[in-house]
Structure 1
Amino acid sequence: MKKIIPFLFFGLAVLGLCLILTACQEGKESAVNPQTGSGGSMARFAITGNTLYIVSKQSLEVYNIADGANPVKTVRKDMNVGIETIFPYRNQLFIGANDGMYIYNNSNPANPAYLSKFTHVQSCDPVVVQDQYAYVTLRSGVACRRGNSLSSLDVVDVSNPSNPQLVNSQPMSSPYGLGVSGNKLFVCEGEKGLRVMDISNPIRPVEMQFHQDLPAYDVIVRPNHLIVTGQKGLFQYKYDQDDKFELLSKIPVL
């Protein structure tokens, strides 16, 4: 199973790229948020407008994809740390690395500028952002968090991206990826299931439901839809205002 999980994450990333490209073609994105489409919280690439961002272990690479058949690299940012994830939101890039969460100003997409680093987060653990808050899951027992036996869901105020502040932390079982939409935060707990959190008060997430029959490692959240990687494959669910889940499709791991 440990060998299968990375392929599930890769599958969700590829599916996220498909959603990204679809959104590019449909041109539905708001001018307020330059992110095009959506990917999972453990994604290693993202697109904003005509710019593609790819994170490797040591760098952030930026490509102009105005001509999709001939992408042109515009800049490479050497970070000298173990980069794991990237999440664009409005005019910032939130980059998870082994030694913290990095925030870059993305006002000039072709050349993002470093703003700050939040060291409380050892972000081999993923991050998602909505409005002025970033939500981060920290999981014990992983290589980049040796000696740390606590797993948690942290809330970080990023209203001043040059000075992010931890505003809440609460224990979790074994969190992996997460996704956010409106007043709901979805937290994947691996083989233990999927938690649905109420963030009507965004600082203090409150558990609404715990779907222990729905193993989940990462999630893409779309309006009333979830795309989940779990122990047995890729699953698409529809959920309503009462948080009732309906399985729409699945791609099983054989």
Structure 2
Amino acid sequence: MKRFFQKTCIVLLSGLLALSVWQCEMGASADVAPGATGVGGSMARFAITDNTLYIVTRQSLDVYDISSPSEPVRKGKAELGLGIETIFPYQKNLFVGANDGMYIFDNRQPQSPVLLSKYTHVMSCDPVVVQGTYAYVTLRGGVGCRMWQPQSTLDVVDVSNPSSPRMLNSQQLLSPYGLGVDGNKLFVCEGDKGLKVFDISSPTVPIQIQFLTEVPAYDVIPYRNTLIVTGNKGLYQYRYDGTQTGTSLELLSKIPVE
């Protein structure tokens, strides 16, 4: 029960952080380009683009108009089948992680997203992040993810053509959860085992450069050279340089969860 309570608190903290970042973006002046998107972790079940809120349930993508934040209006629903887990918006697409694959939607019309394709993989837990023309997907093995083969992996998927995604590389991990990407850095959470940092100067071949085993990590949010890490021991904040290839994580603060 204690571990369940800790995990619930961490998920709520991540959601509140994502909302606060969105509010700052929307409240900023002309420095922010029109269509600013909320920033959330890879394990998030909701996302915001312009004045549209997307929520994924276990089997659908729900769309809400939040032009009037106090009176959201439901605009549509896409039934996707069981096992829907996460959502990640990037440019004009939505990437939805599911137990058996990754759905890619065109959301150039934010309130009417169109399904373009589905990248299918073995049954597993499947958060996803995107940068440029590459999606990074972690697949966690084990019974808890409805998966019958033991390996956990990090997959690199070419999404230059969202209608026809294809895997370019795959490498083994321990027990991955959420992940985040910024510049030359890819951050991968390994649950109670810690946080891994990869150099992606070559985007299709992530190279591990750091492994913080003392930081239990569930999900990460990289934002303006600040990395937020959530885990069962609390919420950590680090500073990093997304352009450097070396290890440069500097612990700034920690909010413990008892």
Q: TM-score range by the shorter chain?
A: over 0.9
Offset at residue 5 of structure 1 (A): 2.1
Query: Which residue pairs with 2:56 in the alignment?
Result: 55
Aligned-CA RMSD value: 1.7
Q: Which residue of 1 aligns with 2:46?
A: 45
Question: Measured at CA, do residues 217 and 17 of structure 1 come closer, stay the same or move farther in structure 2, by a change above 3 Å?
Answer: same
1:171 matched to 2:172? The reply is yes
Asked if 1 retains the 8 angstrom alpha-carbon contact of 2:125 and 2:141, the reply is no
Letter of the 1:16 partner, please give it.
A
Q: Cα offset for 1:16?
A: 1.2
Shift of 1:124: 2.8
* Corresponding residue of 1:230: 231
Encode CA deviations 1:193-222: one digit per residue, 9 max, x unaligned: 111101010000001111112221100001
One-letter amino acid matched to 1:25: G
- The residue that corresponds to 1:96 in the other structure is 97
Q: How far apart, CA to CA, are the structure 1 residues paired with 2:20 and 2:139? A: 28
SS of residue paired to 1:110: coil
On the 8 A contact 1:151/1:171 being kept in 2, the answer is: yes
Task: Please tell me whether the aligned partners of residues 133 and 159 of structure 2 are also in contact (alpha carbons under 8 angstroms).
Answer: yes
For 1:116, the equivalent position in structure 2 comes to 117
AA partner of residue 209 (structure 2) = M
Partner of 2:249: 245
TM-score of the pair, normalised by structure 1: 0.93
Structure 1, unpaired ranges of 5+: none
Letter in 2 for 1:100: G
Amino acid of the structure 1 residue aligned with 2:80: M
Aligned residues: 252
Residue 2 of structure 1 deviates from its aligned partner by 3.9
User: CA offset at residue 145 of structure 1?
Assistant: 3.4
TM-score, L = length of structure 2: 0.92
Question: 1:197 touches 1:206 (CA, 8 Å); kept in 2?
Answer: yes
1:156-184 deviation line (CA, Å, top 9, x unaligned): 00011111000000011111100000011
